[in-house]
Amino acid sequence: WPELWEDWHAQLMKHNQAFDLGITLSDHQTFRAVFESAVASDRLQNELIALASFSHQVGGVHLDVEVKVEQTSRAAISRFRRFVQTLATRLHRLKPRRQLSIFLPSGTYAHLYDTKALRTIDWVVLQGYDAHFLDSPRAGPVAPLAGTDAVSWEKMLQLADSMKLPHNRLLMGFPLYGYEWTVPSCQPRGVHQGIGGLTSLLPLKAMPNASFRGDIQSQVARHGAQVETESTSLYYLFDNGQGSCTVGWFEDSWSLKIKADWLKQNGLAGLAFFPLGYDQGVLTRILRDHWPRP
């Protein structure tokens, strides 16, 4: 698909910007098919090197591999780790040098990588979101800084430390989306009915998918917002007229500044926003002003 980049490529050249190719793999059967085969994994690596060499606007490759170690084989994991090391070496040897970054999920997903493979990687994006998600048992913050949730920024940093990752190569994933649930108890962290829905910080021109419910800004304008201090996250809560309440959890400029200060205090490299555009550039500009480059 490099031929489909023409408009994007032209804009990047105009503004002298680079981008990384994001490669996603989240199916354990596909993971085994690729990484239990030397032929398949070598072919994938050669294709990635060719794509990274397509243009000087390609700054590198970003791997988003989300497979639990217990769902795959030792042989596939071992070859994947060698694949990462070799890919990094080949990207670094290109002229100009390309970088390799990875997304590091929480839990056993993270153990696809070992210390040796991680040493070769330029940037690691820690999972800073989805502490609660569409079909999680309860409503709750998407990106808590601290607290008892299974995923929090503090716990992800502890995971990175256990894997001996230097703080100056770490970025934390920051969500520009939120989740909204129907909660019979009308408690912000209550058990919810059905599957939740996605929200964006500001209105979008088109609905991304069927589970999308609208924008946070409109809900807050109608119902106000409340703060949970420990998680440094926000929520709105209102009676939906159907014998239950609607609760929506999200991050905004207030929580962004607190979490950016926490990143500075811990010496992290910065934030990775996801998905770009869900804030119409508002939060990304705030971070730029709040945390200017040296």
CB atoms inside a 10 Å sphere around CB 48: 20
In contact, 260 and 177? CB cutoff 8 Å: no
* Section 141-168 average pLDDT: 96
* Section 15-42 average pLDDT: 94
Inform me whether the pLDDT recorded for 177 exceeds 80.
yes
pTM of the predicted structure, to 2 decimals: 0.93
Of the candidates 156, 191, 180, the one whose C-alpha atom is nearest the C-alpha of residue 271 is 156
Q: How far apart are CA 126 and CA 209, in angstroms?
A: 25
Structure confidence by residue, pLDDT tens digits, 183-226: 999 999 999 999 999 999 999 988 888 889 999 999 999 999 99
DSSP string computed for 103-167: EE-SGGGGGGS-HHHHHT-SEEEE--S-SS-TT-SB---SS-SSSSSSS-HHHHHHHHHHTT--G
The pairing of beta strand 233-239 with beta strand 245-250: antiparallel
Structure confidence by residue, pLDDT tens digits, 94-133: 999 999 999 999 988 999 999 999 999 999 999 999 999 9
Tell me the three state secondary structure of residue 22.
strand
Structure confidence by residue, pLDDT tens digits, 63-82: 999 999 999 999 999 999 99
